[in-house]
């Protein structure tokens, strides 16, 4: 049991309210500071982004937009239309522009795709990113594939294929690496899924964390985006928020068959990006940026691996395998995840996510993001102290009855 003083309990109550107001997502750090000014957040280990990528973006932004005075253009002028931004990406991604749909964040594309193209039945692996079932329209059936705890919530490809054949949904979703646990399915296995399941109308592969995954020793980038021509039912979704550290400007894209892009554009979305997102997309395709970005991507992957390694040494927790920039952690010894999260926040100023609202998880779980090296060291020390304190409290409880 984690103990709180009366003052702390007041804050715990407010935290609970704030979390409830945010629904199935976490309150943003901005909302947090506004509504709970008495809590000082030192490290945001809830939001899943690469801080070095944000630094790199800011370097360019400062030089090219702020110092040059071009910021006025971004504010005063309309950004380019959806199809024009798609053309910028097309060359860089080596994908036909007609297959690219630009979103105001990937979440807009999830909503657009599910509202427009899922007609009957969707199959979703759980635990998952909640928007996939929350945006399902009335009348569409949702089938959950509960990932097995014994398999560390990883995807068992063979039984998955069998299950899809059994249920015959028109849409399936695979987040790779998955959120909230970071489990990764190798490209050859995803391709096997695509080969076996050509009867499914929409195979959504969400690659929002793919820049953190790798299959080779040199951390080479992997992706399925180029396969859209080969598999017309494939829809690859990509948020730029996490791996480029720019959630605030809302940038994402989807790669899908031409008729889908056309159908979405015909029903709206003409100017759904803003000037800052357009600036980002142009930067993303710029050679010098891409080279520098790859360096900070790899630096961050290596540091994240060290972080995960250190987490695994801590007693009282189980760290699940992850190829993303975060880990799912199970709290043992009867610690409640909401208590643990409150304690870390109040005592150490570390903001992490409880997973008690995630369907499909059995036990007490938190999700912890990797941050900068310095922040990660601070997180490790604090977690250690928090766990030890709990152990000591237990001992006291036992001896005092």
Q: How far is the CB of 247 from ligand PLP (least distance, A)?
A: 5
| Residue of 175, 235, 277, 323 interacting with ligand PLP (CB under 6 A) | 175
Closest to ligand PLP by CB, 273 or 382: 273
Nearer to ligand PLP, 243 or 339 (CB): 243
135-154 binders of ligand PLP (CB under 6 A)? none
* CB closest to ligand PLP, residue no: 105
Which residues 190-219 are close enough to bind ligand PLP by CB under 6 A?
206, 208
Task: Kindly state the DSSP code that residue 373 receives in the 8-state scheme.
Answer: H
- Is residue 62 a contact partner of residue 340, using CB atoms and an 8 Å limit? no
Cβ distance to ligand PLP smaller for residue 178 or 390: 178
Q: Is 260 in the site for ligand PLP (CB under 6 A)?
A: no
Q: Of 79 and 105, which CB lies nearer to ligand PLP in the complex structure?
A: 105
Contacts of 300 (CB under 8 A, 6+ apart): 50, 51, 52, 53, 212, 325, 370
CA 223 – CA 227 distance, rounded (Å): 9
Given a contact cutoff of 8 angstroms between Cβ atoms, the answer to whether 393 and 1 are in contact is yes
CB nearer to ligand PLP: pick between 2 and 193: 193
**51 scored as a contact of ligand PLP (CB under 6 A):** no
Find the shortest distance in angstroms from Cβ 354 to ligand PLP: 16
> By CB under 6 A, what part of segment 289-308 binds ligand PLP?
none
How many residues bind ligand PLP (CB under 6 A)? The answer is 12
Q: Is 22 in the site for ligand PLP (CB under 6 A)?
A: no
Binding test (CB under 6 A) with ligand PLP, winner from 125, 171, 185, 241: 241
208 or 354, CB closer to ligand PLP?
Answer: 208
The two three-digit tokens of residue 18, written as one number: 């704030």
Task: Choose the binding region for ligand PLP from 61-69, 101-109, 293-301, 305-313 (rule: CB under 6 A).
Answer: 101-109
Stretch that binds ligand PLP, among 102-110, 213-221, 225-233, 305-313 (CB under 6 A): 102-110
| 252 contacts ligand PLP (rule: CB under 6 A) | yes
Question: Cβ closer to ligand PLP: 264 or 386?
Answer: 264
> Cα–chain-centroid distance for residue 214?
16
Q: Identify the CA nearest to 153 among candidates 369, 359, 341, 357.
A: 359
| Site stretch for ligand PLP (CB under 6 A), options 99-107, 139-147, 332-340, 393-401 | 99-107
Distance, in Å, from the CA atom of 303 to the CA atom of 182, rounded to the nearest integer, reads 16
Residue carrying structure tokens 């912890």: 368
The helix (H) or strand (E) run that includes residue 368 is strand 365-369
Nearest-approach distance from CB 336 to ligand PLP, in angstroms? 25
Interaction between residue 127 and ligand PLP (CB under 6 A): no
Determine which residue in the list 65, 88, 102, 107 makes contact with ligand PLP, applying CB under 6 A: 107
- Residue 66, classified by CB atoms within 10 Å of its CB into exposed (0-12), middle (13-18) or buried (19+), is exposed
Instruction: Enter the tokens of residue 373.
Output: 């090296």
Nearer to ligand PLP, 80 or 176 (CB): 176
* 106 is a site residue for ligand PLP (CB under 6 A): yes
What one-character-per-residue DSSP string does 184-253 give?
Answer: ---HHHHHHHHHHTTTSSEEEEE-TTGGG--SSTT------GGGGTT-TTEEEEEESTTTTT-GGG--EE
What DSSP string runs through 302-337?
HHHHHHHHHHHHSTTEEEPP-SSSEEEEEE-TT--H
DSSP secondary structure code for residue 170 in this structure? S
To which H or E segment does residue 354 belong? Answer: strand 353-354
Figure out which of the listed residues 61, 129, 260, 378 binds ligand PLP, where binding follows CB under 6 A: 129
Interface contacts to ligand PLP, rule CB under 6 A:
105-107, 129, 175, 179, 206, 208, 239, 241, 247, 252
């Amino acid at each position: 049991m984690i103990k709180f003083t009366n003052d702390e309990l007041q804050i715990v109550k407010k935290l609970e309210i704030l979390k409830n107001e945010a629904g199935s997502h976490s309150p943003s750090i901005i909302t947090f500071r506004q509504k709970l000014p008495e809590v000082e957040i030192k490290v945001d280990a809830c939001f899943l982004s690469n801080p070095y990528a944000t630094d790199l973006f800011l370097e360019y932004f400062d030089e090219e937009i702020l110092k040059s005075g071009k910021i006025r253009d971004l504010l005063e002028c309309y950004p380019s239309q959806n199809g024009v931004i798609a053309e910028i990406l097309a060359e860089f991604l080596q994908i036909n522009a007609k297959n690219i749909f630009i979103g105001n964040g990937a979440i807009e594309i999830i909503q657009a795709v599910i509202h427009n193209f899922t007609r009957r039945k969707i199959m979703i692996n759980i635990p998952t990113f909640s928007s996939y079932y929350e945006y399902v329209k009335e009348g569409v059936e949702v089938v959950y594939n509960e990932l097995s705890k014994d398999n560390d919530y990883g995807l068992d490809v063979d039984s998955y294929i069998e299950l899809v054949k059994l249920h015959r949904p028109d849409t399936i979703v695979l987040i790779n690496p998955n959120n909230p646990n970071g489990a990764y399915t190798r490209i050859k296995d995803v391709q096997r899924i695509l080969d076996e399941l050509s009867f499914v109308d929409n195979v959504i592969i969400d690659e929002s964390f793919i820049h953190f995954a790798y299959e080779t020793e040199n951390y080479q980038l992997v992706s399925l985006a180029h396969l859209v021509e080969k598999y017309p039912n494939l829809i690859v979704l990509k948020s730029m928020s996490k791996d480029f550290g720019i959630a605030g400007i809302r940038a994402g894209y989807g790669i899908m068959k031409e008729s889908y892009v056309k159908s979405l554009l015909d029903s709206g979305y003409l100017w759904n990006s803003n000037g800052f997102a357009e600036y980002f997309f142009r930067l993303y395709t710029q050679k010098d940026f891409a080279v520098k970005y790859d360096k900070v991507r790899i630096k961050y992957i290596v540091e994240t691996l060290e972080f995960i390694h250190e987490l695994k040494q801590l007693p009282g927790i189980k760290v699940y395998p992850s190829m993303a920039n975060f880990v799912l952690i199970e709290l043992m010894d009867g610690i409640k995840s909401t208590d643990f999260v409150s304690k870390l926040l109040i005592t150490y100023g570390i903001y992490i996510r409880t997973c008690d609202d995630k369907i499909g998880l059995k036990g007490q779980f938190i999700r912890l993001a990797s941050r900068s090296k310095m922040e990660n060291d601070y997180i490790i020390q604090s977690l250690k102290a928090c766990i030890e304190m709990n152990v000591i409290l237990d001992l006291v409880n036992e001896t005092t009855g």
